[in-house]
A and B are shown apart, each in its own frame.
Chain A
Amino acid sequence: MAYSEKVLGHYQNPQNVGTLDKSKSNVGTGLVGAPECGDVMRLQIEVDEATGMIKDAKFKTFGCGSAIASSSLATEWLKGKSIDEAMTIDNMTIVEELHLPPVKIHCSVLAEDAIKAAVNDYRKKNGMPEVKFEESVIH
């Protein structure tokens, strides 16, 4: 199976690899997946408390090239968004942007879950109720 140019691009030059200080109150961390499934994604957001906008996003991913590309793309999209806007990022937009084949859709779902988990972590830390969302079931 050949990878799309976009997946290859993110794999070769991943954007925003790294770690934010998870002890800070304005940092939200989402860790999703499991080593047994061959995919673990950790996505972190740092929120500007004055504006409520995401000013930084970082990821680390254990997984195939499509999983790495999905998380790299997600961090790019998160920067400059409000936490509410972040919750609207849909996995299918990632699929379309990266031209993921059907067997790799689960990678995009994982990225969407990681975004939601990171936002919820931030909300919890800051006394806001967690946003409920439907558990994805395809992976």
Chain B
Amino acid sequence: MLKLPIYLDHNATTPCDPRVVEAMIPYFTNNFGNAASRNHPFGWQAEEAVDIAREQVAKLIGADPKEIIFTSGATEGDNLAIKGVFEMYASKGNHIITCNIEHKAVLDTCKHIEKEGGEVTYLKSTPDGLIDLAELEAAIKPTTILIAIMYANNEIGTVMPMKEISAIAKKHGVLVFSDATQAVGKIPVDVNKDGIDLLAMTAHKMYGPKGVGALYVRRKNPRVKVTAQMDGGGHERGMRSGTLNVPGIVGFGKACELAMNEMEADAKRLSKLRDKLETELMKLEEAYINGSTKHRLPHVTNISFKHVEGEGLLMGFNKDIALSSGSACTSASLEPSYVLKALGLGDDLAHSSLRFGLGRFTTEDQIDYTIEAVSKTVTKLREMSPLWEMYKEGIDLSTIEWAHH
């Protein structure tokens, strides 16, 4: 039996895997110790659990456990990496290169850096949601200290050419930071093969708990340092003070171990389901896939259904299917997704988009149900869309003088 509602918003967050929860439970009650308590068994037990988790996390991204700094999540990791490098390498330069489809946690941190006297170059995304490597190289100057490019995009799922990016960075002696929130645990990420110096990740996007994440900081070739953004007891080798979230960290470690073992099979299964969903929905007229279909995550697709508005579309089935739209009719600005706009989509197409994020527990039944519900609603709403009627009559919508508000 198909159980409703169906969850297809895995880019926003994922459920905890029951095996993760099971691993965490003892660390709330019996093994509640502070990992920094060095003088009794409660502390030792907690410290040991954290050490195991650190190894599990490190292993997933091909790092050394000593290179893992536990944080509260990817937003903190983004802040610590960018602000930390900016402050630590101030004598070397003040220029950072990033991209205009990064997550707000990176873009807003860069805005903050600009206020602090830093200089930031925002590379323009290509129309398929990637970056132009020639443009990247051209943007590097003697004062450039950091290139901050996400591993995979949260809205359209495109995967950036990290190896090529880091090769260019290395040639110019610039550090590479990657917000890999959407990629880690979904596709193979290896900080050495990919040439990444700092990498942010979070547990709750990979079937772990919310409120815990990690920043990878390279220790060799080159040895990278960041200034702490949180002062206190000097935890995490002085880079991130604050009592460790032991149950969260244990869960994060378990989630990494599971991903290590299962991500390949998950990706294979989910890309098949995603392709089925996409192929069926693309049978609707005037449907467009946003972002590269070649370089992208296996479980994500973002589709615009022209002449229907995303939020109105969601309302047709959001009791039963949890999805996201690039339209933002509820926000005061009424501005649609900045990521879709950066791809060069007109506001009308950006307003008409749906993001599908499949996950470990997604079934074929759920995909079949979704195909039918979305197709039905798109058709129904087009029947009541004046734009669809005009389109069908052959009227060029761009020639109409709209009353702009």
Contact = CB atoms under 8 A, between A and B. Distances in A.
B114 interface: no
A40 to B, nearest CB: 6
B2 interface: no
B403 A34 contact: yes
Interface in B384-405: 384-389, 397, 402-405
Interface string B281-313: 000000000000000000000000001110110
B346 A61 contact: no
Contacts of B383: 17
A8 B319 CA distance: 11
A31 B38 CA distance: 72
B95 interface: no
Contacts, number: 97
B48 interface: no
A64 B311 contact: yes
- Tier of interface size on chain A: 20 to 34
A138 to B, nearest CB: 8
Interface in A31-60: 31-42, 59-60
Given A31-B386, A60-B389, A61-B385, A36 B315 contact: no
Contacts of A42: 386
A37 B404 contact: yes
A139 B330 CA distance: 12
B386 A37 contact: no
B385 A34 contact: no
A67 B331 CA distance: 15
A74 B327 CA distance: 24
Best-buried of B331, B385, B405 by chain A (most CB within 10 Å)? B405
B1 interface: no
A83 interface: no
B236 interface: no
A126 interface: no
A77 interface: no
A39 B330 contact: no
Contacts of A128: none
Contact of B348 (A35, A103, A106): A35
18 contacts: A11-B315, A17-B384, A31-B403, A33-B403, A34-B404, A36-B346, A37-B405, A38-B309, A38-B329, A38-B336, A39-B309, A40-B386, A60-B384, A61-B384, A62-B308, A62-B309, A68-B384, A106-B405
Given A40-B386, A62-B388, 4 more contacts: A39-B329, A40-B387, A62-B308, A64-B315
